[in-house]
Structure 1
Amino acid sequence: MNEVSFQCKVNQLFDDGYAVKQRKSVVSHCAYLSYFANEIKSFDFSFSDNAFEELRQQFSQEQVRLLREPGLYDLIKANKKIGAFPFYSFIISISKVKRDYLEAALSLQLNVLVAAYELKKLKGYEDYIERAFDATRIIFTDNKYQPIIGLIEPYKTYTEKDFLEIREQSKLAPHHLTRLASLFDKYSARMPTISKRIRVDQPKEIPPDKKPNYTNKESLVPFEDDEPKYTEILATEGNVTTSNGDHLEKIIDEKTATRYFEFLLIAPDEVKKSARLKSQLANSVAANIERREKSLTTEFRFLTKHEVTILVKECMHNIDDTYFGLLLLSLITGRTISEFLDNEVVMTKAETGELSDHYVIRYKPSLPNYEMIKKAITLIKKPKGEVLLIIPKCMNNLIANITRLDLAIDSTKQAISDCISQMNKRYCTRFTLAKISSVMPFYLIKAGADAAEIALMKGSSVVQHAACYYYQVPVQKLIELHQDFLSYLDADNNYGLSDFKKKTDLTVGSALQLQEDTAKKLFAVLHAKLLEQLQMGWENIEVLHNYLTVYTLFILNLSTGHRPVKHPYHTIDAFDLETSTVFIADKESRSNSAGRVLKLPSLAKEQLNHYLTHLRHIHHYFAQLSYQDGKHITDTLLGELPLFSFIQDSRFLTITPKLLDDFCIDLLPIPLNWHRHFIRTWLRDNNAKPLAVDVFMGHVNGDGDPFSRYSGVSMKDLDEVARLLNQLLSKNLEIKPFSSIEGLRL
């Protein structure tokens, strides 16, 4: 063959149709593989193309000699590393091909490499690529299969049809030829240069008699003297038709259908999956709209600012009256009259200290007190305070009188109702006992208070609101919220209701609040253990896998608030990596509406991708040990088995809370749901939207879907939560994504 430039030889090897960027990739791979075939004249090294010379300079002569060393493949085979390094084994297997078959073998290897390079840009084709590498390697290295190479025509681009025909001609290795046919079938179907033409019908010409006619008419409105006059252009009645609009709508509908059909043909599987999940979410939201509209809350249930002002004025004017005093107490504390009369609310006066000369309502919520080993107690921030509602000093005499009186419940309620009726008649207001006790929680909601904060301040039904279990709130924050409410009641400061200014460092709420430094050290220790296991190589792959599983789970748990359950996150189908969302269903046994869709922080998404790559990587290793082990990993990646599992003695173990707790006992000997306490408190301390935090934690009340038309939260709010959590993971806790691939390949 005459000496020609390397670029021309590429044109001989492959058909036309490659983009410039693709051609450069092909040239690069051809230059790489040309070192294996210097015996072939058509691949002589004396090319005049400068680009090829530059590519050759990237390889030293020693590297070239090693790549062409015939015994190198035998060495890697003897050490049982073929499954661990499929690409490297595929490359060096060319050294085992007989001279008679070398041209065709090199052409096959080039085609496989180009197809793999293009498919690698897309997601979901890793198995096709790796199976094609294995098939090519086996055909090259097994003498009984090498006659198949003689049936391959060199110097052309191969398709699925070529290998199906060879499979019919030769009875050798039909399954290997099928793998190659599958690779080139996917390559031809997914090649980025392929584009489908969309046919759009042109709109028909509108007949002249159907076109709207326009005439000039004087304005029907008289002009002012200094106003500029103008002429109105009006369409003549009777000539306007809607046929043109209907035709355009039809075109748009057909165009949408055509695009959808094209989407189904060429979109990668991950994009199709993302579209399906978004469609399911949209349908579930639409199904809740009607139910939500029937139970909308309106301000008619609550008192207006004007009514509140009248109520405060009347109560302060009659401050010495017991009945008006009880109404004022109900207003400023959010308690009902019945709670005061039944002695469910205890008001005490502090004689000394910061609370001296103030009556105070103290409340200690009944929350779990977790038992743990002694050395773990120092890792937890224990709550040491109690809820304090501080009564203004101007009400001291009133409270002293009320505590001395033995008020009859029925007669007192009737007398208070009479007072309310008189005010409603005099001021045309809508006072009721229920509305008066609801003023404080309604104000706190509008002021951005958390549902747990409101429940703690009201001091009732705490055990019914799950948020109180996970939130450790500063007592000072509750005091400030209450003082802000008192300032709202006394906007002009006429009565001195907001008169407490002292500070406290006490907290109340969750008793399982991990210190931030401890969480930071936990991930640093896990990362160090992963690096340690990585250095030990494949003999410690099970330990490495287990630590990587825990590392990934902890990052995802901090990113989603997932409860510790069996089969956490179920399968890979729960994740939509195209839109960075995850569907959480961790409470199905207790509620049929506990499922929620959350946004993933970017660091968590990156770590999850590393974990999936890790599974694909170890698949070859375990597939050689056992067919069942290889199938288990394959089914996991296909979403047919749970995503996370431990490996012990080549057995895959289901993740359960007990198994995970046993594994983590030396890392962090505290209950597994520590992350839910940690995240909820951290998010509120960093000003996350209260309702968005409830949605994130799965604590939304039973009033409909949180993303329906009239809800108070949207996916944009969860985007902000994900941004805050990414800041927590990457900056505060200094977590680094970890991939086991680095250091495990040659």
Structure 2
Amino acid sequence: MNHAQIEQSFERRNIKRCLSLLFPISFAPEALASLGAEIIRLAAILRQEYKCEFDELKFVVAEAHRRMISPPSALKDVFSSIKKEETLGIHYLPAFLSCELQRTSYDKARFEQYKALTLIVSVRLLMMGRHEPAVQRVCDEIRLFSDGRRENLAAWLPDVLRHNFPSLIQELERLRTDTANNDKTKQVNNQLRKFHVSYRDSYEFKEGITRNVSPKEFRKNGIVNSSSKQQLDDGDETVIELREISISSTESDSWEKEEGDSGQTRKLRAVTFSALTSASYASRAMQAKAISNRLLKKKLSLSCDIYQASLFEIKILLKECIASLHTEECDTAQLLIFMLIFGNQCDQIRAMRNKKHKRKIAGVKRDHTLPSQKQRDELTPLLRKVDTSIIFPVPSLITESLRSLKFKNVTDADIKNYLQHINKKHETHITQTKISTFISHKLKQEGIDPVLIELIKGSAPSELAALSYTQLESNSLLATYQRYLNFLSKISACQELSLTTNTLGNKIIGTPLAIDDKLLHQLFSALTERLEMLDSPGEQGFPASYHNLVTVHVQMILALSSGYRPVTGWLGKITDISLDTGQFWISDKENRLGDASRVIVLPPIALEYIKQYTAFLNAAAFHLRNTDTPLCKRYREAASGQEHLFFYRSESHWDEVSPKTMAPIFDSIFPLPPNWHRHHIRTLLHQSNIHSELIAAWMGHADIGEASFAQYSSLNFNELYKIAEIINHHLNQNGIKVVQYG
């Protein structure tokens, strides 16, 4: 379209508004020329499959040429000027045009195609009128994406290079409305919607709307996560439920959500009664407190807990249920056996998905989806491929007559009457809660990692922090499940309950961030080679590039050795470490409710690296004592413990370590989420048969008030030296040797 055709198609005031947003009159001629040059470049690289949909492209390119009256300035200078003047909300289009991709690990061709497409979509929508809010939202998304602040979104955006405009819109619609993906957060869904709405409206020439909306609800910096319902079933007429509520802050990246779930501290336990047992508020509060404490005690799976099911009770239950498989009470008996095998309440059993073979139920399918399993395509070569589901075979004895797991013919009254009959006949006290919690108590007492137990139960990752950090083979999980079935078969004297072979094949499940040892070896070999290739830092004046490379090298060693969460002031101060004993005081989830710190033991190789790094700090401080006094002071403060041990440098300033400043530094070296080391080491310790409670103490997964080495703990602090030995051997095995910096 030429200018005349544009004026015939769109209102003149909308065209004028569009051009004023693209080329603000307050901008210098050099800045306008820079924006014009960028528009011309984006129009040239836009794929033909998209160009053919927009007749407005020629018009906007012609307008860009009209602004090329002065030599263009650098795009980064235009963006810096907008940011410095704090006008990102006003000049959102120039800010979008002047943004450049900061992460080297991102696919630049895809980004620039999205940028070019978003430009012409925005031009059309602005000329149509009443679409400015949608335009600003999608432009802001591209700008934030370029800065590396849309890591989650990057994993979900369709490949723009493989679509035309209609199919891209359809794919965005599919992703936005697909509710089957449990790992897609509400935040990602909203971000996808911004792309879909603007692209769809421009394609369909859909009329825009303007709303004046004011918030009608209280908003705060936090979300409420509730755990699954727990019941305290004593066999009387009152059914008491417990729901645990934890408040965690809203985070932007999936790894931050993982760390938030593993560090929940503020909790509210709500106990509800089916019938009020007392009119007194005080007595009801005391009763609720007692119930809450009893459920907390039950989680410990103590062998002295009289409220656990005894082996005699389980033996009686199994024999009665097996005897009922060919009677009218068959469905009830089958449901109770499923509850015993999978550790679920009856409503959870009804929600399970089955796996059929020859039209008969052969197993139960459990999904295990984690936020870390969805990563952008560029990271795929670095990660191990993991499966998101696993099938647990079920003995044919209890599925022979089953067509589904809904058990529609079984009511709560049927279960209650069936258990009452057994209890009266054998003078036992079997309850639904005893049945559904038996697998947890049994396997915990045998020292089985809770990760395996929760996977059998089908628990969500938020139920157990370790679920998000562990990678394992399905064969090890199925072996534990098979041993449990064989145990039930033995005590019930029913051979048909056991499983003898696994014909499902071995798969990798869990987190993909537990990277392969070969990749870890290659990573540190490449880092060491880069350090050795550089000249002596003293001869170069300790440049920022060498400082950052040394910092990253030591940080990765120390992170793998300690499991330190990525936080501001990551890896603490030198005074947190005892170089004599190797003890490292870690405070990575402090809060106002109490002390959440822990002490771990560092492996010898990490201590050697710290000594080398402190020598590097002192040498840099000495070299810069006369040329750069502020920087010299920062080096001295890091070496003495007055400030955090690590910081990053640029040519003109330095930045303290935080997740925000870590991302651009690590992106060019190893662009995985910043907590990948916690996934890798948790998996290593699991594979090394370290007890799960000791791993939780090392990872910092113990809750407030549950100190790992307190007076009531069965753990011994000396056991941490065993973890240090395993990590030290692992690092040495992967070719990590102590190097001298300079």
Contact 1:372-1:670 at 8 Å conserved across structures: no
Deviations 1:631-688 (A, max 9, x none): 2222222221111012333643212223222122222222222111111112212212
- Equivalent residues in 2 for 1:18-33, closer than 5 Å: none
Match of 2:381 among 368, 378, 393: 378
Query: SS of the counterpart of 2:654?
Result: strand
Residue 462 of structure 2: aligned partner: 463
Amino acid paired to 2:371: P
- Equivalent residues in 2 for 1:141-540, closer than 5 Å: 295=297, 297=302, 298-320=304-326, 321-340=330-349, 343-351=350-358, 359-369=362-372, 372=375, 374-400=377-403, 403=405, 406-407=408-409, 412-491=411-490, 494-503=494-503, 504-535=505-536, 537-539=538-540
Q: 1:663 and 2:665 equivalent?
A: yes
- With over 3 angstroms needed to count, the CA separation of the structure-2 counterparts of 1:361 and 1:551, relative to structure 1, is same
Paired with 1:294 and 1:455, the residues of 2 have a C-alpha distance of: 17
User: CA-atom RMSD, angstroms?
Assistant: 2.6
Q: After TM superposition, which residue ranges in structure 1, 4 or more long, deviate above 6 angstroms? A: 291-294
- With over 3 angstroms needed to count, the CA separation of the structure-2 counterparts of 1:505 and 1:623, relative to structure 1, is same
Q: CA deviation at 1:423?
A: 2.3
Paired with 1:628 and 1:436, the residues of 2 have a C-alpha distance of: 66
Q: CA deviation at 1:379?
A: 1.3
- Equivalent residues in 2 for 1:664-679, closer than 5 Å: 664-679=666-681
Paired with 1:626 and 1:620, the residues of 2 have a C-alpha distance of: 10
Count how many residue pairs are aligned between Structure 1 and Structure 2. Answer: 440
Deviations 1:694-722 (A, max 9, x none): 22222224561111233243312322111
| TM-score scaled by length of structure 2 | 0.56
- With over 3 angstroms needed to count, the CA separation of the structure-2 counterparts of 1:483 and 1:292, relative to structure 1, is closer
Residue 723 of structure 2: aligned partner: 721
- With over 3 angstroms needed to count, the CA separation of the structure-2 counterparts of 1:471 and 1:325, relative to structure 1, is same
Paired with 2:729 and 2:590, the residues of 1 have a C-alpha distance of: 30
Contact 2:471-2:511 at 8 Å conserved across structures: yes
Contact 1:691-1:712 at 8 Å conserved across structures: no
Paired with 2:603 and 2:419, the residues of 1 have a C-alpha distance of: 53
Contact 1:513-1:677 at 8 Å conserved across structures: yes
Contact 1:533-1:540 at 8 Å conserved across structures: no
Amino acid paired to 2:447: G
Paired with 1:475 and 1:591, the residues of 2 have a C-alpha distance of: 39
Q: CA deviation at 1:371?
A: 5.6
Q: CA deviation at 1:435?
A: 0.7
Aligned-residue identity in percent? 26
Residue 633 of structure 2: aligned partner: 631
- Equivalent residues in 2 for 1:537-576, closer than 5 Å: 537-539=538-540, 541-542=542-543, 543-576=545-578
Contact 1:367-1:509 at 8 Å conserved across structures: yes
- With over 3 angstroms needed to count, the CA separation of the structure-2 counterparts of 1:349 and 1:623, relative to structure 1, is same
Paired with 1:496 and 1:347, the residues of 2 have a C-alpha distance of: 20
Paired with 1:612 and 1:650, the residues of 2 have a C-alpha distance of: 23
Q: Which has the larger radius of gyration?
A: 1
| TM-score scaled by length of structure 1 | 0.55
Paired with 1:292 and 1:546, the residues of 2 have a C-alpha distance of: 52
Residue 607 of structure 1: aligned partner: 609
Q: CA deviation at 1:447?
A: 2.7
- With over 3 angstroms needed to count, the CA separation of the structure-2 counterparts of 1:709 and 1:425, relative to structure 1, is farther
Q: Which runs of 5+ in 2 are unaligned?
A: 1-292
- With over 3 angstroms needed to count, the CA separation of the structure-2 counterparts of 1:446 and 1:330, relative to structure 1, is same
Paired with 2:528 and 2:546, the residues of 1 have a C-alpha distance of: 11
Paired with 1:539 and 1:403, the residues of 2 have a C-alpha distance of: 71
Amino acid paired to 1:393: S
Query: SS of the counterpart of 1:737?
Result: coil
Q: 1:654 and 2:656 equivalent?
A: yes
Query: SS of the counterpart of 2:472?
Result: strand
Residue 621 of structure 1: aligned partner: 623
Contact 1:382-1:513 at 8 Å conserved across structures: no
Deviations 1:318-366 (A, max 9, x none): 22322222211111111112323xx312223223xxxx96521111123
Deviations 1:30-58 (A, max 9, x none): xxxxxxxxxxxxxxxxxxxxxxxxxxxxx
Amino acid paired to 1:338: D
- With over 3 angstroms needed to count, the CA separation of the structure-2 counterparts of 1:505 and 1:740, relative to structure 1, is same
- With over 3 angstroms needed to count, the CA separation of the structure-2 counterparts of 1:630 and 1:514, relative to structure 1, is same
Query: SS of the counterpart of 2:497?
Result: coil
Paired with 2:591 and 2:461, the residues of 1 have a C-alpha distance of: 22
Amino acid paired to 2:363: V
- With over 3 angstroms needed to count, the CA separation of the structure-2 counterparts of 1:717 and 1:533, relative to structure 1, is same
Contact 1:585-1:594 at 8 Å conserved across structures: yes
Query: SS of the counterpart of 2:570?
Result: coil
Paired with 2:407 and 2:351, the residues of 1 have a C-alpha distance of: 15
Query: SS of the counterpart of 1:687?
Result: coil
Amino acid paired to 1:331: L
Residue 282 of structure 1: aligned partner: none
Paired with 2:376 and 2:352, the residues of 1 have a C-alpha distance of: 37
- With over 3 angstroms needed to count, the CA separation of the structure-2 counterparts of 1:294 and 1:436, relative to structure 1, is closer
Contact 2:352-2:405 at 8 Å conserved across structures: no
- With over 3 angstroms needed to count, the CA separation of the structure-2 counterparts of 1:293 and 1:301, relative to structure 1, is closer
Paired with 1:305 and 1:378, the residues of 2 have a C-alpha distance of: 49
Query: SS of the counterpart of 1:505?
Result: coil
